[in-house]
Every structure is written in C-alpha cells, then in structure tokens.
Amino acid sequence: MAALNEKKTCSQRMENFNRFVWNPDTGQLMGRTLINWVWISLYYVAFYIVMTGLFSLAIYSLMRTISPYTPDYQDRLKSPGVTLRPDVYGEGGLEIYYNVSDKNSWEKYVTTLHKFLSAYNTTAQHANINCTSEKYFFQKSFLGPNKTKHSCKFTSDMLENCSGLANSTFGFPEGKPCLIIKMNRIINFLPGNGTAPRVSCTAQHEDFSPLELQYYPINGTFNLHYFPYYGKKAQPTYSNPLVAVKFLNITRNTEVTVVCRVIGAGITADNPHDPYEGKVEFKMRIQD
C-alpha cells in the first residue's frame, strides 16, 4: 500500500514524460505510431479541404443570387426619414437657439450650412445631368459613365434666397433664418404617387400665431425626376433633393417647437416608434 502512495520524484516524472513523447521500445510518438499520425493528419487535411470547399460553394451561390445594386429585403424602410440642416442637438433634441446681436451664437449654423451645401455647388454636380421633366426618372439601362445610371443635378442656387450665394449668412442675423430639409434615400421608392411631395412646416402648439414661411424651390416640393433612387453602386453621384424653409415671423425671445412634414402619398409621419419618419421636429428661439 505504501508503494502505491509513494510519490514520484521530479526526475521520474520527466523520464515518464519523455517516454510518452517518444517511446523507443514501441516506436510511438505521443502514444501513436508514425503511420497512425500520418492517417490522422490526412484525415484532418481532407476534412478541412471539404469544409473549405462547401463554405466557398455556399458563398459563391449566395453571391450569384443576390443583386449588387438593391437589397433583397426593405421591410423596415417603407417611409423615408427626414433630417434638418443645421443639425445641432441639445438636451431636448434638435435646437436652433441664437441671439441676432451675438455673431458667435449663430455663426456655427451658417458654417454648417455652407459645409453641407458644398456638395451641391456646380463643381460637385458636374457629373450629373440637367433634368427638366416633372415625372419619375425611370432608367432600365446603365447608360451613365462607367456603366452607371444617370443622376439629376441639384445645385444650391435652386434654393434661391436660401442658397447662401446672395446672402452668405442665410438670414440668421436678421432673425429670418433659412433651414434645410432633406428626405433620406430609399432604393426604388416612388413618393407622391405621381405628385411631387412637398414640405409643410407648422408650429406644434396651436396657441402660437401661424408661421410665415417661404419655401425654396417654389411650393417646397421635391421634384419627381429625382426618383427613384437606384442605390449607391448604380448612382454613385446621386444627390438628395433639398427644400429650404425661410422663417419670416418667429416671435423674439420665445421658444417655438416646429414640425416640418413631408406630405405625399406613401409617406407617413405618425410612427410613434420613429419620430423622424416622414417629419422632423425641432425647437427654435431667436433672441435680440
């Protein structure tokens, strides 16, 4: 019994380990003969070759069946989101707060608008074409440069008094600021059911006097020839159409909540789970 409980010395353990790694009496390496190791290695090589082949075949089949231009499923994008520029967020969401006599308070908004509209100057839009139709711009073929589809130009001068060209401060120091509304892209989406969707901005609370506004382009519409959008690969130079809103009668030193909705068939603005679907809401306060 004492022999069974006798502890092996360190040298004995090392000797046993060395014998396990290589046993000269049986010719075994780590408990297996050389031919066994060869068969095991060949098995795993063949196994991983088959697995790699099956994985490659699955990826190849997937890539052959999906379109590089449009996603197979778009069930979460039935109605476009709407965004505002300048997009300055505060504790309560989007906020446009400034003092007409304090340049530092509104200069950041002007800088943001100029930076945003730089993608809409004539140089940036040189690859796009002039479109004059008031209808959807359907394209079945890839007739654009490098086998792409054409995109219609949208240049900042289309925003007229809110383009930043004639008035580089966008009306902020006068207390009549210009804000820009953009509708997000959805592939193959046809808004308006043949009628151009338009932007409509109102004060959220009825106790405020009606807002006096000017929209650019005229009537605040998104021309139909910018739709449908065919995706980034098909239309790499596509630019979202814009609508600018100039606020003319904001009551000074009073916070007003403004809701700008895009009105048109197929566009919803009452989704409680997505406050930016079909509309954008922001707070504005102009001080003097």
pLDDT in tens, 177-232: 999 999 999 999 999 899 999 999 999 887 778 899 999 998 999 999 999 999 99
Q: Which residues in 75-197 belong to E strands, given as ranges?
A: 82-85, 89-90, 93-99, 178-183
Looking at beta carbons, which pairs linking 102-106 to residues 24 or more positions away fall under 8 Å?
103/173, 106/169, 106/172, 106/173, 106/177
Query: Peptide bond preceding 68: is omega within 30 degrees of 0, i.e. cis?
Result: no
Is the pLDDT at 281 greater than 50? The verdict is yes
Asked whether the beta carbons of 239 and 119 are under 8 A apart, the reply is yes
Is the pLDDT at 21 greater than 90? The verdict is no
Query: Peptide bond preceding 145: is omega within 30 degrees of 0, i.e. cis?
Result: no
Percent of the chain with pLDDT over 70: 95
pLDDT value at residue 75: 63
Residues comprising the chain, all counted: 288
Is the pLDDT at 7 greater than 80? The verdict is no
- CA–CA distance, 100 with 198 (Å, rounded to integer): 30
Is the pLDDT at 273 greater than 90? The verdict is no
Asked whether the beta carbons of 165 and 157 are under 8 A apart, the reply is yes
Q: Which tokens belong to 171?
A: 């009306």
Asked whether the beta carbons of 97 and 285 are under 8 A apart, the reply is yes
pLDDT value at residue 1: 47
- First-last CA distance in the chain: 100
Is the pLDDT at 5 greater than 80? The verdict is no
Q: How confident is the model at residue 3 (pLDDT cuts 50, 70, 90)?
A: low
pLDDT in tens, 111-156: 999 999 999 999 999 999 999 999 999 999 999 888 999 999 999 9
The average pLDDT across 19-27 equals: 73
pLDDT in tens, 33-52: 888 888 989 999 999 999 99
Map out the domains of the chain as residue ranges: 13-65, 82-287
Range 82-287: architecture per CATH: Sandwich (2.60)
- CA–CA distance, 172 with 103 (Å, rounded to integer): 9
pLDDT value at residue 110: 97
* b/e burial code for range 96-131 (CB count within 10 A of at least 16 → b): bebbbeeeeebeebbebbeebbeebeeebbeebeeb
